[in-house]
Amino acid sequence: MTTKQLFGKRIVLGVGGSIAAYKAILLLRRLTDLGADVEVVMTASARQFITPLTFQTLSGHPVHTDLFATDDNMTHLRLAETADLILVSPATANLIGRFAQGLADDLLSTLILASHAPLLLVPAMDGGMWQHPLVQQNVKTLRETGVEVLDPEFGTLASGHIGWGRFPSEETIMSSIISLLTMPGDYHNEVLLITAGPTHEAIDPVRYITNRSSGKMGYALAQSAQKRGAQVTFITGPTSLTPPPGVHTISVSTAEEMQDEVHKHFARATVVIMAAAVADYRLTHPAETKLKKQGQKHLSLALSLTPDIVGNLAAKKTGQFMVGFAAETENLIEEATRKLKEKGLDMIVANDVTQPDAGFGSDTNAAIVLDAHGIVEDMPLMPKRGMAMKILDLIRVCLDNRQ
């Protein structure tokens, strides 16, 4: 992190009414230390916890509290138009609900509706409230419209209970702010085709073969590429994740369906990233009705290979940059190198899925990136979003070197 990394950036910091309001003071300090110009808007409830004077002293600006203040009655428009980022921290369940409904009944909610700046919410509330279906629905609505909502962390809450709802760490918040404010637009001329998630191969109408992929790595790639200006077609197997906003998302179930969609969109793509964990086998003859036990102790299923989606693209290539993933439990480099060659890839991201917190399902990953010449980069354990950005950086360098 360079010292004045946020110099010239204007941030509106909205502070909600939670005991975590005091943590907004620490964030404000970090932001101004990095050179950001921060103006603070406090809700009426926030002022029950902290006085505006603290924020005023640290930001060097008067704190805004009133939509109808007579001294500057266009504050909401000025802040909305000049902000590079609106950060709401802490964001209470009430604020999240009001933003999700598009209400504009105080200064903060009004300026959010009036602004085109990215919006980042840092929730803080009791774990039970966070997990309430209505709060989750509101978070989903916001995420679908492109609002970045951080997930609260697990730990001891202000109530003394242990659960989800803890304010995210300062480092997590700062890295989200920095990535939103410093996102390069270096993929404007690229059309990306990205796959994610597992596939489901039917055994009978109620059972299927699958694997442990959650889709998180592929979703992080699709979202990051879109934010860097790419046109993204995103083909995902079944996951519980919300489709990335602004991304053309196509849901499929089987390897065959994924292959059909990949082939349909391949010709337009300039970069293909296959993060999906495609099932290698499917049932040769899936049962049309539910299989019954009928007393037998063992059941054998006849399996046939699924199509090698990326391997079959080699013949159709017209200059696309092809990136594959490999999830391995042994001989990581050898296996990934073999797949790179056999599948005609330009680059492969090799995950050692035996490593704790890496590979399937986790929010973090560690990987070794390889090309035809060997190791390109050894990436230590990091959030999948950060890894997505690093993979895109590496691809960008290769695309630039080709021109």
Which one of the listed residues 73, 94, 211, 351 is annotated catalytic? 211
Minimum CB separation of residue 308 from ligand PMT in Å reads 5
Choose between 167 and 325: whose C-beta lies nearer to ligand PMT: 325
CB distance 164 to 153 below 8 Å: yes
CA distances from 253 to 46, 218, 239 (A): 46, 15, 10
The residues in 238-257 that bind ligand PMT, with binding defined as CB under 6 A, are 255
Q: Give yes or no for a contact between 178 and 346, defined as CB atoms under 8 angstroms apart.
A: no
Strand partners, 66: none
Q: According to the binding rule CB under 6 A, does residue 360 interact with ligand PMT?
A: yes
Q: Binding to ligand PMT (CB under 6 A): which residues in 74-113? A: none
- Per-residue x/- marks for ligand PMT, 310-339, CB under 6 A? x-------------xxxx-----------x
Q: Which of residues 272-311 bind ligand PMT (CB under 6 A)?
A: 274-278, 280, 306, 308-310
Nearer to ligand PMT by Cβ, of 117 and 313: the residue is 313
- From the CB of 349, what's the least distance to ligand PMT, in Å? 7
Three-state SS for 37?
A: strand
- SS3 category, 132: coil
- Among residues 18 and 254, whose Cβ is nearest to ligand PMT? 254
Burial class (CB in 10 A: 0-12, 13-18, 19+), 304: exposed
Establish whether 211 is a catalytic residue. Answer: yes
Residues 363 to 392: which contact ligand PMT by CB under 6 A? none
DSSP-derived secondary structure for 198-248: B--EEEETTEEE--S--SHHHHHHHHHHHHTT-EEEEEE-S-SSPPPTTSE
Instruction: Give the length of the chain.
Output: 403
User: Nearer Cβ to ligand PMT, position 49 or 360?
Assistant: 360
Nearer to ligand PMT, 168 or 324 (CB): 324
Largest Cα span, the chain: 83
Question: Which residues make up the interface to ligand PMT (CB under 6 A)?
Answer: 213-217, 255, 274-278, 280, 306, 308-310, 324-327, 339, 343, 351, 353, 359-361
Catalytic (active-site) positions: 211
